[in-house]
Protein backbone atom coordinates (compact mmCIF):
# COMPACT_ATOMS: atom_id res chain seq x y z
CA UNK A 1 0.00 0.00 0.00
CA UNK A 2 2.84 2.32 0.89
CA UNK A 3 4.60 1.51 -2.38
CA UNK A 4 1.52 2.54 -4.31
CA UNK A 5 1.40 5.91 -2.53
CA UNK A 6 5.09 6.48 -3.15
CA UNK A 7 4.66 5.77 -6.86
CA UNK A 8 1.69 8.12 -7.05
CA UNK A 9 3.69 10.85 -5.28
CA UNK A 10 6.63 10.36 -7.64
CA UNK A 11 4.30 10.45 -10.64
CA UNK A 12 2.83 13.77 -9.45
CA UNK A 13 6.33 15.15 -8.78
CA UNK A 14 7.38 14.19 -12.29
CA UNK A 15 4.34 16.00 -13.69
CA UNK A 16 5.19 19.10 -11.66
CA UNK A 17 8.83 19.00 -12.80
CA UNK A 18 7.68 18.59 -16.38
CA UNK A 19 5.40 21.63 -16.12
CA UNK A 20 8.18 23.71 -14.57
CA UNK A 21 10.64 22.67 -17.29
CA UNK A 22 8.09 23.55 -19.95
CA UNK A 23 7.49 26.98 -18.39
CA UNK A 24 11.22 27.61 -18.18
CA UNK A 25 11.58 26.62 -21.83
CA UNK A 26 8.76 28.94 -22.88
CA UNK A 27 10.24 31.78 -20.83
CA UNK A 28 13.61 31.20 -22.45
CA UNK A 29 12.00 31.26 -25.89
CA UNK A 30 10.23 34.54 -25.07
CA UNK A 31 13.48 36.03 -23.77
CA UNK A 32 15.35 34.88 -26.85
CA UNK A 33 12.62 36.30 -29.03
CA UNK A 34 12.76 39.62 -27.16
CA UNK A 35 16.53 39.71 -27.50
CA UNK A 36 16.19 38.89 -31.17
CA UNK A 37 13.64 41.66 -31.69
CA UNK A 38 15.85 44.10 -29.78
CA UNK A 39 18.83 43.14 -31.91
CA UNK A 40 16.82 43.59 -35.10
CA UNK A 41 15.59 46.99 -33.90
CA UNK A 42 19.14 48.01 -33.04
CA UNK A 43 20.36 46.85 -36.45
CA UNK A 44 17.53 48.77 -38.11
CA UNK A 45 18.42 51.89 -36.15
CA UNK A 46 22.08 51.56 -37.11
CA UNK A 47 21.05 51.04 -40.72
CA UNK A 48 18.91 54.17 -40.70
CA UNK A 49 21.75 56.19 -39.12
CA UNK A 50 24.21 54.85 -41.65
CA UNK A 51 21.80 55.60 -44.48
CA UNK A 52 21.34 59.14 -43.20
CA UNK A 53 25.10 59.64 -43.06
CA UNK A 54 25.46 58.33 -46.61
CA UNK A 55 22.69 60.60 -47.89
CA UNK A 56 24.20 63.65 -46.20
CA UNK A 57 27.63 62.83 -47.63
CA UNK A 58 26.09 62.46 -51.08
CA UNK A 59 24.44 65.84 -50.65
CA UNK A 60 27.79 67.42 -49.75
CA UNK A 61 29.45 65.79 -52.78
CA UNK A 62 26.62 66.98 -55.05
CA UNK A 63 26.89 70.50 -53.70
CA UNK A 64 30.69 70.52 -54.19
CA UNK A 65 30.30 69.20 -57.74
CA UNK A 66 27.70 71.80 -58.64
CA UNK A 67 29.86 74.53 -57.11
CA UNK A 68 32.74 73.51 -59.37
CA UNK A 69 30.39 73.47 -62.36
CA UNK A 70 29.12 76.92 -61.44
CA UNK A 71 32.67 78.28 -61.22
CA UNK A 72 33.61 76.75 -64.58
CA UNK A 73 30.54 78.25 -66.18
CA UNK A 74 31.20 81.64 -64.48
CA UNK A 75 27.82 81.35 -62.82
CA UNK A 76 27.03 82.91 -59.41
CA UNK A 77 29.02 81.01 -56.79
CA UNK A 78 26.05 80.30 -54.54
CA UNK A 79 23.39 79.35 -57.06
CA UNK A 80 23.11 75.57 -56.69
CA UNK A 81 19.82 75.10 -58.51
CA UNK A 82 18.84 71.59 -59.52
CA UNK A 83 17.33 71.61 -62.96
CA UNK A 84 14.26 69.51 -62.29
CA UNK A 85 11.62 72.12 -63.03
CA UNK A 86 11.74 73.80 -59.56
CA UNK A 87 13.65 76.63 -57.86
CA UNK A 88 14.72 74.49 -54.87
CA UNK A 89 18.45 74.40 -54.11
CA UNK A 90 20.62 71.61 -52.80
CA UNK A 91 20.56 73.38 -49.42
CA UNK A 92 16.76 73.07 -49.47
CA UNK A 93 17.02 69.34 -50.19
CA UNK A 94 19.56 68.97 -47.39
CA UNK A 95 17.22 70.66 -44.90
CA UNK A 96 14.32 68.49 -46.04
CA UNK A 97 16.37 65.33 -45.62
CA UNK A 98 17.50 66.36 -42.14
CA UNK A 99 13.92 67.27 -41.22
CA UNK A 100 12.69 63.86 -42.35
CA UNK A 101 15.08 62.16 -39.90
CA UNK A 102 14.18 64.45 -36.96
CA UNK A 103 12.14 62.78 -34.25
CA UNK A 104 9.67 65.07 -32.46
CA UNK A 105 7.84 64.12 -29.28
CA UNK A 106 5.18 65.81 -27.18
CA UNK A 107 6.97 67.90 -24.55
CA UNK A 108 9.95 68.77 -26.74
CA UNK A 109 11.00 72.43 -26.70
CA UNK A 110 11.80 73.72 -30.17
CA UNK A 111 12.98 77.05 -31.56
CA UNK A 112 11.26 78.37 -34.66
CA UNK A 113 11.14 81.43 -36.88
CA UNK A 114 7.85 83.30 -37.18
CA UNK A 115 6.54 83.06 -40.75
CA UNK A 116 2.97 84.25 -40.14
CA UNK A 117 1.07 86.26 -37.51
CA UNK A 118 -2.72 86.49 -37.51
CA UNK A 119 -5.46 86.94 -34.94
CA UNK A 120 -5.80 83.14 -34.87
CA UNK A 121 -2.18 82.60 -33.83
CA UNK A 122 1.48 82.40 -34.84
CA UNK A 123 2.95 79.98 -37.40
CA UNK A 124 6.57 78.88 -36.92
CA UNK A 125 9.12 77.42 -39.31
CA UNK A 126 10.77 74.69 -37.24
CA UNK A 127 13.04 73.28 -39.94
CA UNK A 128 10.74 70.29 -39.80
CA UNK A 129 8.38 68.82 -42.38
CA UNK A 130 5.43 70.26 -40.44
CA UNK A 131 5.18 73.87 -39.22
CA UNK A 132 4.37 74.80 -35.65
CA UNK A 133 1.27 76.73 -34.62
CA UNK A 134 0.83 78.68 -31.37
CA UNK A 135 -2.61 79.91 -30.32
CA UNK A 136 -2.87 83.48 -28.93
CA UNK A 137 -3.49 82.33 -25.35
CA UNK A 138 -0.36 80.14 -25.54
CA UNK A 139 1.95 82.92 -26.73
CA UNK A 140 2.10 85.08 -23.59
CA UNK A 141 0.57 85.49 -20.14
CA UNK A 142 1.25 89.23 -20.12
CA UNK A 143 -2.13 91.04 -20.10
CA UNK A 144 -0.56 93.99 -21.91
CA UNK A 145 0.76 91.73 -24.70
CA UNK A 146 -0.55 92.37 -28.22
CA UNK A 147 -0.12 89.50 -30.65
CA UNK A 148 -0.27 91.61 -33.81
CA UNK A 149 1.88 94.44 -32.40
CA UNK A 150 4.49 92.51 -30.40
CA UNK A 151 5.17 89.53 -32.69
CA UNK A 152 6.72 90.03 -36.13
CA UNK A 153 7.68 87.84 -39.06
CA UNK A 154 11.32 86.82 -38.63
CA UNK A 155 11.20 86.76 -34.80
CA UNK A 156 12.63 83.71 -33.03
CA UNK A 157 10.35 81.93 -30.57
CA UNK A 158 10.71 78.92 -28.28
CA UNK A 159 7.69 76.70 -27.76
CA UNK A 160 6.82 73.28 -26.37
CA UNK A 161 5.15 70.62 -28.54
CA UNK A 162 1.67 70.09 -27.08
CA UNK A 163 0.21 67.93 -29.84
CA UNK A 164 1.83 66.40 -32.92
CA UNK A 165 -1.13 67.21 -35.14
CA UNK A 166 -3.61 70.03 -34.56
CA UNK A 167 -5.93 68.69 -37.25
CA UNK A 168 -4.49 70.95 -39.93
CA UNK A 169 -1.11 69.26 -40.30
CA UNK A 170 0.69 71.53 -37.81
CA UNK A 171 2.46 70.84 -34.55
CA UNK A 172 0.36 72.46 -31.83
CA UNK A 173 2.77 74.37 -29.58
CA UNK A 174 2.88 76.60 -26.49
CA UNK A 175 5.36 79.36 -25.61
CA UNK A 176 3.82 79.60 -22.14
CA UNK A 177 4.61 75.95 -21.49
CA UNK A 178 8.18 76.40 -22.75
CA UNK A 179 8.75 79.12 -20.16
CA UNK A 180 8.22 76.54 -17.40
CA UNK A 181 11.23 74.58 -18.66
CA UNK A 182 13.72 76.82 -20.46
CA UNK A 183 12.32 80.18 -19.32
CA UNK A 184 13.56 79.87 -15.74
CA UNK A 185 16.96 78.72 -16.97
CA UNK A 186 17.31 81.87 -19.08
CA UNK A 187 16.13 84.04 -16.20
CA UNK A 188 18.82 82.53 -13.99
CA UNK A 189 21.40 83.35 -16.67
CA UNK A 190 20.10 86.94 -16.83
CA UNK A 191 20.37 87.29 -13.06
CA UNK A 192 23.89 85.83 -12.89
CA UNK A 193 25.10 88.14 -15.66
CA UNK A 194 23.25 91.18 -14.21
CA UNK A 195 21.67 91.67 -17.63
CA UNK A 196 19.67 94.85 -18.23
CA UNK A 197 16.26 93.78 -19.60
CA UNK A 198 13.67 96.06 -21.25
CA UNK A 199 10.12 95.46 -19.98
CA UNK A 200 6.68 97.03 -20.18
CA UNK A 201 4.71 97.54 -16.97
CA UNK A 202 1.59 95.35 -17.21
CA UNK A 203 -0.34 96.28 -14.08
CA UNK A 204 -0.22 98.02 -10.72
CA UNK A 205 -0.66 95.89 -7.61
CA UNK A 206 -0.31 96.34 -3.88
CA UNK A 207 3.04 98.02 -3.07
CA UNK A 208 4.40 97.75 -6.60
CA UNK A 209 3.88 96.90 -10.26
CA UNK A 210 4.11 93.79 -12.45
CA UNK A 211 6.10 93.08 -15.62
CA UNK A 212 6.72 89.85 -17.57
CA UNK A 213 10.02 88.37 -18.76
CA UNK A 214 10.11 85.06 -20.67
CA UNK A 215 6.40 84.67 -19.82
CA UNK A 216 7.24 84.72 -16.11
CA UNK A 217 5.54 87.26 -13.85
CA UNK A 218 7.94 89.64 -12.16
CA UNK A 219 7.25 92.03 -9.27
CA UNK A 220 8.83 95.50 -9.01
CA UNK A 221 8.42 96.95 -5.49
CA UNK A 222 7.57 100.65 -5.25
CA UNK A 223 10.98 101.18 -3.62
CA UNK A 224 12.68 99.78 -6.76
CA UNK A 225 10.76 101.78 -9.39
CA UNK A 226 12.72 105.02 -9.18
CA UNK A 227 15.71 106.66 -7.51
CA UNK A 228 13.20 108.07 -5.04
CA UNK A 229 10.31 106.20 -3.39
CA UNK A 230 7.06 106.09 -5.37
CA UNK A 231 3.87 106.63 -3.38
CA UNK A 232 1.09 104.03 -3.62
CA UNK A 233 -1.35 106.37 -5.40
CA UNK A 234 1.25 107.05 -8.13
CA UNK A 235 1.72 103.40 -9.13
CA UNK A 236 -1.08 103.31 -11.77
CA UNK A 237 0.80 106.04 -13.66
CA UNK A 238 3.53 103.52 -14.45
CA UNK A 239 1.24 101.03 -16.25
CA UNK A 240 2.16 100.86 -19.95
CA UNK A 241 5.57 102.46 -19.44
CA UNK A 242 8.71 100.84 -20.84
CA UNK A 243 11.55 100.46 -18.36
CA UNK A 244 14.95 98.82 -18.00
CA UNK A 245 15.27 96.38 -15.12
CA UNK A 246 17.54 93.78 -13.56
CA UNK A 247 16.52 90.58 -11.81
CA UNK A 248 17.51 90.89 -8.14
CA UNK A 249 15.78 87.79 -6.74
CA UNK A 250 14.68 84.54 -8.37
CA UNK A 251 12.97 81.52 -6.74
CA UNK A 252 11.74 78.95 -9.27
CA UNK A 253 10.17 76.67 -6.65
CA UNK A 254 7.98 79.52 -5.41
CA UNK A 255 7.48 80.97 -8.93
CA UNK A 256 8.86 84.24 -7.60
CA UNK A 257 10.86 86.89 -9.47
CA UNK A 258 11.72 90.35 -8.14
CA UNK A 259 12.92 93.10 -10.49
CA UNK A 260 14.60 96.47 -9.95
CA UNK A 261 14.56 99.56 -12.16
CA UNK A 262 16.29 101.57 -9.44
CA UNK A 263 19.42 99.46 -9.77
CA UNK A 264 19.69 100.37 -13.47
CA UNK A 265 18.81 104.04 -12.90
CA UNK A 266 21.45 104.33 -10.17
CA UNK A 267 24.08 102.92 -12.51
CA UNK A 268 23.05 105.31 -15.30
CA UNK A 269 23.19 108.22 -12.83
CA UNK A 270 26.69 107.25 -11.74
CA UNK A 271 27.82 107.16 -15.36
CA UNK A 272 26.25 110.55 -16.06
CA UNK A 273 27.91 112.12 -13.00
CA UNK A 274 31.22 110.53 -14.00
CA UNK A 275 30.99 112.19 -17.42
CA UNK A 276 30.07 115.55 -15.87
CA UNK A 277 33.05 115.38 -13.53
CA UNK A 278 35.38 114.46 -16.38
CA UNK A 279 34.21 117.55 -18.29
CA UNK A 280 35.14 119.98 -15.47
CA UNK A 281 37.95 122.39 -16.39
CA UNK A 282 40.41 123.45 -13.66
CA UNK A 283 40.13 127.17 -12.98
CA UNK A 284 36.38 127.28 -13.54
CA UNK A 285 34.43 129.39 -11.03
CA UNK A 286 31.19 127.72 -9.93
CA UNK A 287 28.43 128.30 -7.43
CA UNK A 288 27.48 125.62 -4.95
CA UNK A 289 25.80 124.94 -1.63
CA UNK A 290 27.61 123.77 1.49
CA UNK A 291 26.43 120.19 1.97
CA UNK A 292 28.30 119.20 5.12
CA UNK A 293 31.12 120.40 7.37
CA UNK A 294 33.94 118.20 8.59
CA UNK A 295 37.03 118.94 10.67
CA UNK A 296 39.20 118.76 7.56
CA UNK A 297 37.02 120.80 5.21
CA UNK A 298 33.63 121.44 3.64
CA UNK A 299 31.74 119.41 1.03
CA UNK A 300 30.01 121.59 -1.54
CA UNK A 301 27.14 120.41 -3.76
CA UNK A 302 27.76 121.67 -7.30
CA UNK A 303 24.52 120.26 -8.74
CA UNK A 304 24.07 117.51 -11.38
CA UNK A 305 25.11 114.94 -8.77
CA UNK A 306 28.59 116.47 -8.31
CA UNK A 307 30.09 117.18 -4.88
CA UNK A 308 33.55 118.60 -4.24
CA UNK A 309 35.74 119.10 -1.18
CA UNK A 310 37.10 122.46 -0.02
CA UNK A 311 40.05 121.72 2.27
CA UNK A 312 40.10 123.78 5.47
CA UNK A 313 43.21 125.58 4.22
CA UNK A 314 41.31 126.71 1.10
CA UNK A 315 38.27 128.15 2.83
CA UNK A 316 39.51 131.58 3.90
CA UNK A 317 42.53 133.88 3.49
CA UNK A 318 42.54 134.10 7.28
CA UNK A 319 43.65 131.33 9.56
CA UNK A 320 40.66 129.36 10.95
CA UNK A 321 40.48 126.46 13.36
CA UNK A 322 37.56 124.69 11.72
CA UNK A 323 35.24 125.22 8.73
CA UNK A 324 32.27 126.02 10.96
CA UNK A 325 34.05 129.24 12.04
CA UNK A 326 33.13 130.88 8.72
CA UNK A 327 30.67 128.50 7.01
CA UNK A 328 27.35 126.85 7.76
CA UNK A 329 25.43 124.04 6.04
CA UNK A 330 23.13 125.26 3.28
CA UNK A 331 25.21 128.39 2.65
CA UNK A 332 25.67 129.32 -1.01
CA UNK A 333 29.33 129.93 -1.92
CA UNK A 334 31.52 130.60 -4.92
CA UNK A 335 34.25 128.01 -5.51
CA UNK A 336 37.10 127.54 -7.92
CA UNK A 337 37.81 124.11 -9.45
CA UNK A 338 41.40 123.20 -8.60
CA UNK A 339 41.41 119.78 -10.21
CA UNK A 340 39.86 116.32 -10.56
CA UNK A 341 41.58 113.09 -9.56
CA UNK A 342 40.06 109.61 -9.41
CA UNK A 343 36.59 111.12 -9.68
CA UNK A 344 37.18 113.45 -6.69
CA UNK A 345 36.81 117.22 -7.14
CA UNK A 346 39.12 119.63 -5.31
CA UNK A 347 37.68 123.12 -4.74
CA UNK A 348 38.79 126.42 -3.22
CA UNK A 349 36.63 129.21 -1.77
CA UNK A 350 39.69 131.36 -1.04
CA UNK A 351 40.91 131.29 -4.66
CA UNK A 352 37.41 132.11 -5.90
CA UNK A 353 37.32 135.18 -3.61
CA UNK A 354 40.76 136.29 -4.82
CA UNK A 355 39.60 135.99 -8.41
CA UNK A 356 36.50 138.04 -7.59
CA UNK A 357 38.60 140.76 -5.90
CA UNK A 358 41.06 140.93 -8.78
CA UNK A 359 38.40 141.28 -11.43
CA UNK A 360 37.27 144.90 -10.61
CA UNK A 361 40.88 146.05 -10.42
CA UNK A 362 41.60 144.64 -13.85
CA UNK A 363 38.48 146.30 -15.23
CA UNK A 364 39.52 149.64 -13.70
CA UNK A 365 42.97 149.42 -15.29
CA UNK A 366 41.34 148.82 -18.65
CA UNK A 367 39.21 151.97 -18.23
CA UNK A 368 42.14 154.38 -17.23
CA UNK A 369 42.24 157.35 -19.74
CA UNK A 370 45.28 157.78 -21.93
CA UNK A 371 46.96 161.14 -21.01
CA UNK A 372 48.07 161.95 -24.54
CA UNK A 373 45.95 161.28 -27.60
CA UNK A 374 46.62 161.47 -31.24
CA UNK A 375 44.42 164.05 -32.94
CA UNK A 376 43.14 163.78 -36.44
CA UNK A 377 46.17 165.80 -37.58
CA UNK A 378 48.43 163.21 -36.12
CA UNK A 379 50.04 165.69 -33.57
CA UNK A 380 50.01 165.45 -29.77
CA UNK A 381 47.16 167.28 -28.08
CA UNK A 382 48.03 169.46 -25.04
CA UNK A 383 50.20 168.15 -22.36
CA UNK A 384 53.51 169.28 -23.98
CA UNK A 385 52.81 173.04 -23.38
CA UNK A 386 51.79 172.34 -19.81
CA UNK A 387 55.02 170.50 -19.20
CA UNK A 388 57.20 173.40 -20.57
CA UNK A 389 55.23 176.19 -18.81
CA UNK A 390 57.28 176.25 -15.65
CA UNK A 391 60.60 175.62 -17.28
CA UNK A 392 63.23 178.50 -16.91
CA UNK A 393 65.95 178.86 -19.52
| Per-residue pLDDT tens over the stretch 297-348 | 999 999 888 999 999 999 888 888 899 889 999 999 999 999 998 889 999 9
What is the phi-psi region of residue 31: left when phi exceeds 0, alpha when psi lies from -120 to 50, beta otherwise? Answer: alpha
Q: What is the pLDDT of residues 381-392, one digit of tens each?
A: 445 455 455 555
Q: Is 67 exposed, middle or buried (0-12, 13-18, 19+ CB in 10 A)?
A: middle
Report the pLDDT value the prediction gives residue 129, as an integer from 0 to 100.
81
Contact of 244 with 196, CB cutoff 8 Å: yes
CATH number of the domain at 283-367, out of 3.40.50.1820, 3.40.190.10, 2.40.50.140, 2.40.37.10?
2.40.50.140
CA distance 291 to 263: 25
- Please report, for residues 173, 195, 371, the alpha-carbon distance to residue 389 in angstroms, rounded to integers and kept in the order given: 115, 91, 17
Report the pLDDT value the prediction gives residue 123, as an integer from 0 to 100.
93
Q: What is the pLDDT of residues 36-91, one digit of tens each?
A: 545 544 555 554 455 555 556 655 666 666 666 655 554 444 433 434 445 556 66
Number of other residues whose CB lies within 10 A of the CB of residue 323:
23
Say if domain 103-180 classifies as CATH 2.40.30.200.
Answer: no
For all residues of the chain together, what is the average pLDDT?
77
Q: Is 155 exposed, middle or buried (0-12, 13-18, 19+ CB in 10 A)?
A: middle
- Please report, for residues 41, 91, 259, the alpha-carbon distance to residue 37 in angstroms, rounded to integers and kept in the order given: 6, 37, 56
First to last CA, the chain: 192
By C-alpha distance, which of 102, 131, 138, 95 is closest to 114? Answer: 131
Of all residues in the chain, the percent with pLDDT exceeding 90 is 35
Non-local (6+) Cβ contacts of 291 within 8 A are: 298, 299, 300, 301, 307, 329
Q: Element (H or E) spanning 204, and its range? A: strand 203-205
pLDDT higher than threshold 70 for residue 284: yes
CA distance 384 to 121: 104
Q: What is the pLDDT of residues 12-35, one digit of tens each?
A: 656 655 665 566 566 556 555 555
| CATH class of the structural domain 194-267 | mainly beta
Report the pLDDT value the prediction gives residue 88, as an integer from 0 to 100.
57
CA distance 84 to 81: 9
In which residue ranges of the chain is CATH 2.40.50.140 found?
103-180, 194-267, 283-367
Amino acid sequence: MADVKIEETLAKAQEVVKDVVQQIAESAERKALAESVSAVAKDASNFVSAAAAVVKEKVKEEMAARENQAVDAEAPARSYHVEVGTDETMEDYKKELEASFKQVRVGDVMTGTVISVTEEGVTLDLNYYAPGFVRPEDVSLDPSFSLLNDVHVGDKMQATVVKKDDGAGNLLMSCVSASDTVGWERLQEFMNAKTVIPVKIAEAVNKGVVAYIENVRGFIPASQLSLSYVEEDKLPEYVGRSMKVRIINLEKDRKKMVLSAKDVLREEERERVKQNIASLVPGTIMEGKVESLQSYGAFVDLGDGMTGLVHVSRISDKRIKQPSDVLKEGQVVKVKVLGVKDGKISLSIRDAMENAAAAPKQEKEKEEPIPAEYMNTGSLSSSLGDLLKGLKL
